[in-house]
Structure 1
């Protein structure tokens, strides 16, 4: 039997591509050239499946334009806001993602952002690199102590729970809001809030760990930021469009917020340039899942979904029912 034909939009880790080439007739992206939606549509000609990533914006027109031979879109990500799921369902396409395998890596980055923002890792490193460190001084510059602070977690899924477990080791008291309250046996002494507004009011540090949905896009705005305690810290490892940049930059510039730690941005990598000028930001280039182990696991998870689909079995991680 002939092997299923795949179009792969980005260069993937070597071990993942080796398995792809072994099991599939795969059209790979050796140069890792970024493609727009119409490049992808063209590349899918005579292909049976599409292996995409978060950089591929597959809106409704692109989904509708895909060749009729395409039956599955496997995304190399846990998030799938870059795919118009409604349009995919209307086409009868199966869409899968890669949840679970990047939980620990992303939670680690969230803690790095919390520590980096609270203790001034950004400006501290800049002092070393720019040779502006004159001497140790009792009066500063100073950061913020973590122990005893309240960490608010917006989105208590796998990653949110992993962040909570790590944060408790630093003496942080956990509060959270989620679409559904966790069973009490799984809360680990965390305090549940029925509304985001209630959570924000007690969050000395706010960690954004929710999915990007119509309900959460722009939820961090001037009004909701004003609910945070003065000198609060905000960290985001979820999606950039959950935060309104103008509002966050104003809160940081005015001193309303003490600091922010960001790994994701609206329009990345073309982020709002004002973030770079703020000394109270600790900025990373979307490193949430960026470990050798995690990226391999994501690729193998995507391939497990594809293997099951083409074998006529139930896919392990369906996004579309």
Structure 2
């Protein structure tokens, strides 16, 4: 009997993918930092029973129409806006993601990004490396305090709550805006539910952890930035398309807000030529929210277990339901 065929769109740890090798023939794109070309992905999808995909892979109708054998897609991410889930489901294809595993790791990175931006840590490090440190000065590379300030979190899901928990250790006041109130966050963390506009106007740090939806696309635009304090710092560890990048650039250049820390962008990857990267008050990271060895290995293993479960006729652990 022919074994199922699995294609993995980026080089992953074979040790973490062991559940797949037990049940299928596995083929993997050999590069870690270079995406699998679209034409190859389409070719592999035509014969694949399962796909292990990255957030950067577009799993659209064109691909799904070609993938006549496909039974399961496991996305190495919490998000799944790169996959046409309803269309996949209509073809009987199960879609899985990797929630929960990366909650604390992403929260660590988000708060680290906030600290780095507020205290100008990246600038300070480069200042020393470029041999510019000649003497001590009272306001040399002075930044903004984080402790006892107000943080506003858009998206009080599990990652949002984990960020809020870290904020309480800095004696911060926690505001949040969500589609619905999160009573657990209010009870356990003292978070205060506000309107979006009130959160923008009163927070010293605005942290975006919202998923990309029709409602959140370009939610952070010129109108939103104008409502923020001039001393406010904007942090985005959610989705790049939630921000109008041109409006953010103008807000930073015109002094409407003080700084931005960004782990996600509209069109990734970006380089030094990106307008936001050249600004001294921007910390730009290459989408590394969940990038710890422990977390990424666990995500790979969960993807493998989900695919193996479906191919064996069982229910996967983390099926996407919309």
TM-score (norm 2): 0.93
Residue 45 of structure 1 aligns to a residue in which SS?
helix
Shift of residue 90, structure 1, vs aligned partner: 2.7
Cα 1:297–1:186 change in 2 (3 A) is farther
Shift of residue 187, structure 1, vs aligned partner: 4.7
Give the 4+ runs in structure 1 shifted more than 6 A: none
Residue 122 of structure 1 aligns to a residue in which SS?
helix
CA distance in structure 2 between the aligned counterparts of 1:295 and 1:69, rounded to whole angstroms: 28
Q: Is the contact made by 2:45 and 2:63 (CA closer than 8 Å) also made in structure 1?
A: no
Task: Please provide the CA RMSD for this pair.
Answer: 1.8
Structure 1: runs of 5 or more not aligned:
none
Q: What's 1:313 paired with?
A: 314
User: Mapping of 1:229-244 within 5 angstroms?
Assistant: 229-244=229-244
CA distance in structure 2 between the aligned counterparts of 1:187 and 1:213, rounded to whole angstroms: 28
**Matched length:** 319
Q: Is the contact made by 1:48 and 1:72 (CA closer than 8 Å) also made in structure 2?
A: yes
2:119 matches 1:119 = yes
2:258 matches 1:258 = yes
Q: What's 2:57 paired with?
A: 56
CA offsets per residue over residues 277-318 of structure 1, 9 Å max, x none? Answer: 211111211111111100111011112211221222222211
Q: What's 1:164 paired with?
A: 164
Q: Is the contact made by 1:49 and 1:70 (CA closer than 8 Å) also made in structure 2?
A: yes
CA offsets per residue over residues 136-163 of structure 1, 9 Å max, x none? Answer: 1113331001122110000011110000
TM-score (norm 1): 0.94
Shift of residue 171, structure 1, vs aligned partner: 1.5
CA distance in structure 2 between the aligned counterparts of 1:201 and 1:110, rounded to whole angstroms: 21
Shift of residue 80, structure 1, vs aligned partner: 0.4
Higher deviation after alignment, 274-283 or 2-11: 2-11
CA distance in structure 2 between the aligned counterparts of 1:146 and 1:191, rounded to whole angstroms: 18
Q: What's 1:289 paired with?
A: 290
Higher deviation after alignment, 208-217 or 182-191: 182-191
Residue 122 of structure 2 aligns to a residue in which SS?
helix
CA distance in structure 2 between the aligned counterparts of 1:93 and 1:18, rounded to whole angstroms: 22
CA offsets per residue over residues 38-59 of structure 1, 9 Å max, x none? Answer: 4212112332111111120122
2:77 matches 1:77 = yes
Q: What's 2:203 paired with?
A: 203
Residue 43 of structure 1 aligns to a residue in which SS?
helix
2:214 matches 1:227 = no
User: Mapping of 1:118-137 within 5 angstroms?
Assistant: 118-137=118-137
2:145 matches 1:145 = yes
